[in-house]
Structure 1
Amino acid sequence: MIRPEKMTVKTQEAIATAQEKALAMSAGAIEPEHLLLALLDQEGGFVPVLLGKIGAPLPQLRESLEASLRRLPKVTGGAQVTLSPVLNRALEQAQKEADAMRDAFVSTEHLLLALAGSKEAVSGKILNQNGVTRDGILSALKALRGGEAVTDQDPEQKYQALAKYCRDLTDLARQGKLDPV
Structure 2
Amino acid sequence: MWQRYTEDARKVVFYAQEEAQNIGEGYLSTEHLLLGICRLHESEGAKLIVALGASAGWVQCTVRGRIGQTDRAAVQEMTLTPRAQRVIDLAYDQASSLGDDFIGTEHLLLGLIREGDGIAGRVLAELGMGLEAARTALHSIRGVPEPKGFERRTPSLCDRSMSGLIVVDLQDSFLAPIADKDKILSRAGFLIEIANLLDVPILATEQYATRMGGTNAGIANLIGTHPRIDKLCFSSFRSDEFWSAWRDTNRNQAVIVGVETHICVNQTAHDLHARGHEVFVCEDATGTRPPEAHEIALQRMRHAGAIVTHTESVAYEWLGEAKTPEFKQALEIVKRYSDL
Asked if the contact 2:12–2:40 (Cα under 8 Å) also holds between the matched residues in 1, the reply is yes
- 1:52 is displaced (CA, Å) by 1.5
Aligned with 2:66 (options 65, 68, 83): 68
List runs of 5+ in structure 2 lacking aligned partners.
146-340
Greater Cα radius of gyration, structure 1 or 2: 2
Is residue 129 from structure 1 mapped to residue 126 from structure 2 by the alignment?
A: yes
Equivalent-residue separation in structure 1 for 2:129 and 2:137 (angstroms): 11
Shift of 1:39: 0.4
Alignment partner, residue 111 of structure 1: 108
> In 2, are the aligned partners of 1:56 and 1:131 still within 8 Å (CA)?
no
Deviation at 1:24, TM superposition (A): 1.4
Displacement of 1:83: 1.2
Aligned to 2:24: 26
Q: Provide Cα deviations, 1:137-175, integer angstroms capped at 9, x if missing partner.
A: 111111111239xxxxxxxxxxxxxxxxxxxxxxxxxxx
Q: Within 1, Cα distance between the matches of 2:55 and 2:103?
A: 25
- In 2, distance between residues paired with 1:40 and 1:15? 12
How far does residue 74 in structure 1 lie from its aligned partner after superposition?
5.4
Cα pair 2:45 2:108 within 8 Å, conserved: no
Q: Secondary structure at the match of 1:120?
A: coil
Contact 2:92 2:103 (8 Å CA) reproduced = yes
Instruction: Tell me which amino acid in the other structure corresponds to 1:136.
Output: A
* Deviations 1:61-101 (CA, angstroms, capped at 9, x unpaired): 22110012216x65446331211111011101101111111
Q: Equivalent residue for 2:7?
A: 9
CA gap 1:74/1:97 in 2 versus in 1, 3 angstroms? farther
Cα deviation per residue 1:83-127 (whole Å; 9 max; x = unaligned)? 111101110110111111111111111100010111321111100
CA deviations on 1:9-34 (whole Å, 9 max, x unpaired) are 11111001101111111012011111
Aligned letter for 1:122? I
User: Per-residue deviation at 1:43?
Assistant: 4.3
User: Number of matched residues?
Assistant: 145
Cα distance change, pair 43–130 in 1 and its aligned pair in 2 (3 A)? closer
Residues 1:139 and 2:174 are matched in the alignment: no
Q: Which amino acid aligns with 1:41?
A: R
Range 89-98 or range 45-54, more displaced: 45-54
- Quick one: percent identity of the two aligned structures? 25
Does the alignment pair 1:83 with 2:56?
Answer: no
Distance 1:41 1:4 in 2: 20
Secondary structure at the counterpart of residue 140 of structure 2: helix
The question of whether the paired residues in 1 share the 8 Å contact of 2:48 and 2:138 is answered with yes
Q: Which has the higher strand share?
A: 2
Q: CA deviation at 1:57?
A: 4.2
Write the distance in 2 (CA, Å) between the matches of 1:13 and 1:51: 17
Aligned with 1:37: secondary structure?
helix
Q: CA RMSD in A?
A: 1.9
**By percentage of residues, which structure has more helix?**
1
Structure with more contact order per residue of length (Cα contacts < 8 Å, sep ≥ 6): 1
What's the counterpart of residue 152 of structure 1?
none
**Preserved contact between residue 28 and residue 75 of structure 1 (Cα < 8 Å):** no
